[in-house]
Structure 1
Amino acid sequence: MGIGDKIKHVAEDVKGKAEEVTGKVTGNDKLEAEGKVDQSKASIKQAGENVKDAVKE
């Protein structure tokens, strides 16, 4: 996995966590759910990249 991809995935995860927390604090269920979705997407992308790296080795 390239360093650029790693940074993108971590940034997406952090953004999702921030949205989730903001949604919880403000009582905005939609924002909280969007944050959880962003975190899930980032995790899936990271897992996919890890599989690619393992296959290369």
Structure 2
Amino acid sequence: MAGSQKAKGKMEQATGKAKEAAGRAVGNEQLTGEGRAKKAKGAARQAKEKTKDIFKG
């Protein structure tokens, strides 16, 4: 379960990075903001899973 959540976090970060870059390329502030938010959500998910792993081990 934890592995799939880590992978999901990585995927969210990658998707967010792509959205942010696309938003900057076309000058769309909303798309850029959505990308930043998605990246942050992915980073938070990964941090949560890493913390859980520390306490398990």
Report the TM-score when normalising by structure 1: 0.92
Give, in angstroms, the shift of residue 5 of structure 1.
1.3
> How many residue pairs get matched?
57
Report the TM-score when normalising by structure 2: 0.92
Structure 2, unmatched stretches of 5+, are: none
Residue matched to 1:37? 37
Please give the root-mean-square deviation of Cα atoms over the aligned residues, in Å: 1.1
Runs of 4+ with >2 A deviation: none
Structure 1, unmatched stretches of 5+, are: none
Give, in angstroms, the shift of residue 7 of structure 1.
1.4
1:2 and 1:24 map into 2 onto residues whose CA distance is 33
Give, in angstroms, the shift of residue 4 of structure 1.
1.3
